[in-house]
Amino acid sequence: MSNAIELSDLRQCASVDQSDRRVPINLRQSGPTPVEMLISTRVRKSPYWHLSVEAGCWRATVYNRMYHPRGYVRPEDGGAMVEYDALVNDVTLWNVAVERQIQVKGPDAERFVNHVITRDATAIHPMRAKYVILCNEAGGVLNDPVLLRVAEDEFWFSLADSDLELWMRGVNVGLRHDVSIAEIDVSPVQVQGPKSEALLVDLFGEQVRELPYYGLLAGQVAGRDVIVSQTGFTGEKGYEIYLKDATRHAEDMWYALLEAGKPHNLRVIAPAHHRRIAAGILSWGQDLDQETLPFQCNLGYQVPRRKQADYIGKAALEAAREQIEADNPPFRNVLVGLVFGGQPVTDYANDFWLVSGADGGDAVGYVTSPWFSPELETNIALAYVPWALRAIGTRLTVALPACYRGPEDGEAVAAEVVDVPFRPSVNPNSRETARARGRDHVD
């Protein structure tokens, strides 16, 4: 029987209270759906799309209205877990051109950017980057990009999976700042894994070793201009390489990276969601969206207490923080880390799996991002649960599809709330750093 039939009693899930949302998350349990993705001109092909296909890409999704490779090793050959091994042991190359680059440039660039991000843009110096969030007037997270400041008067928003260009243009209709706002022909790849530094030293020289986390470096690959950042979607050592004029020069850089990677056992893989979950890195549209407050999803540290300048969402976020500190949050569910039983989850979940109390019963929450952690030897996940069930050590259950249930498991398996990140990162993110300093925010 299919998972959809076996979980038919859970298809309609009105029992998870999402009355604080205008559009509730779709919690119908549909299971795998055997449909084929249509490749057409309506969705953009990135400059690296054909190169990913050449490298063995066999499945894709759509991200930022662009086709995005999500698998190179087929399931019968070990699938995503083989790609994971390459990431944590060697070095990997990812096509992440879907991180579309929105340039804000002009005399008022810093002033404009400071109005649309929660962090203090004046503290970001040229040739440095930061992980930031942009919120709407209600405090919901519109996007959580990496923001690169490539010059005094020029910023690049390296987007997560929601469009900011039109929104920022609309904001500036009222502000009338002296800036241009537009997508540019720059496409990034990620080079991630413990051997990534050695590979980049081969390409750019010893200066790479001095590049700080979120530092930027201008250089060339195969004679083509790039910006390098020490950033990534993994928690492992890694870099992103932003190719200028990518629609013209994609092949030059891609093949040069493949050649330089041979001594380091480089492998082309898809973005490693199993590793980013362990690092507590969020995926917009999956773990958060425009109806999610930063305080719901471990991003409260992105809301500074000391930023004097006004920014979009500031009043709502400061009011929300006061409510939270009074233990009366303006939302029902909060993101937590879970460890849970069952068979190893070695591929993407088809649905938001349902979470119930320790003794089962009606669903009270849902899993957003599950995967198996080889290092921890258990399944891990990010999940939304009611505020009252957020404490570390809280016992819960997760309803699994049949393919992940062991012979002794029922439909639901035991779960426990744990701290996030699940394992240390090579490059601790801002939340980890802020917490280590005894703060709940960044300056």
pLDDT in tens, 84-121: 999 999 999 999 999 999 999 999 999 999 999 999 99
- Band of pLDDT at residue 429, cut at 50, 70 and 90: low
Residue 9 has pLDDT above 70, yes or no: no
Tokens for 51?
Answer: 């190169």
Cross-strand bridge partners of residue 158: 101, 146
Average pLDDT over residues 245-256: 98
Domain with residues 278-292+332-436, CATH architecture: Beta Barrel (2.40)
Q: What is the pLDDT of residue 34?
A: 85
- Band of pLDDT at residue 13, cut at 50, 70 and 90: low
Alpha helices (H) in 262-351, listed in sequence order:
273-278, 314-325
Residue 178 has pLDDT above 70, yes or no: yes
Question: What DSSP element (H or E) covers 226?
Answer: strand 224-229
Residue 130 has pLDDT above 70, yes or no: yes
For 305, other C-beta atoms within 10 Å of its C-beta total 11
In whole angstroms, what is the distance from residue 171 CA to residue 104 CA? 13
- Band of pLDDT at residue 426, cut at 50, 70 and 90: confident
Say if residues 229 and 148 touch (Cβ distance below 8 Å).
yes
DSSP for residue 329:
-
Residue 235 has pLDDT above 50, yes or no: yes
- Tens-digit pLDDT profile for residues 47-84: 999 999 999 999 999 999 999 999 999 999 999 999 99
What are the phi and psi torsion angles at 403 (to 5°)? -65, -15
Nearest to 66 by CA among 41, 93, 88, 33: 41
Half-sphere exposure of 309 (CA within 13 A, CB side): 17
Q: What is the pLDDT of residue 8?
A: 47
- Band of pLDDT at residue 10, cut at 50, 70 and 90: very low
Cross-strand bridge partners of residue 62: 67
Amino acid code (one letter) for 306: R
Amino acid code (one letter) for 352: F
Whole-prediction pTM value? 0.94
Q: Which of 131-140, 294-303, 331-340, 418-427 has the lowest mean pLDDT?
A: 418-427
Give residues with Cβ within 8 angstroms of 85, minimum separation 6.
Answer: none
Q: What percent of the chain has pLDDT over 70?
A: 93
* CATH number of the structural domain 186-264: 3.30.1360.120
Average pLDDT, the chain: 93
Domain ranges of the chain: 186-264, 278-292+332-436
What are the phi and psi torsion angles at 199 (to 5°)? -65, -45
Residues recorded for the chain: 443
Q: What is the pLDDT of residue 435?
A: 53
DSSP for residue 435:
H
- Tens-digit pLDDT profile for residues 296-325: 999 999 999 999 999 999 999 999 999 999
- Tens-digit pLDDT profile for residues 324-351: 999 999 999 999 999 999 999 999 999 9
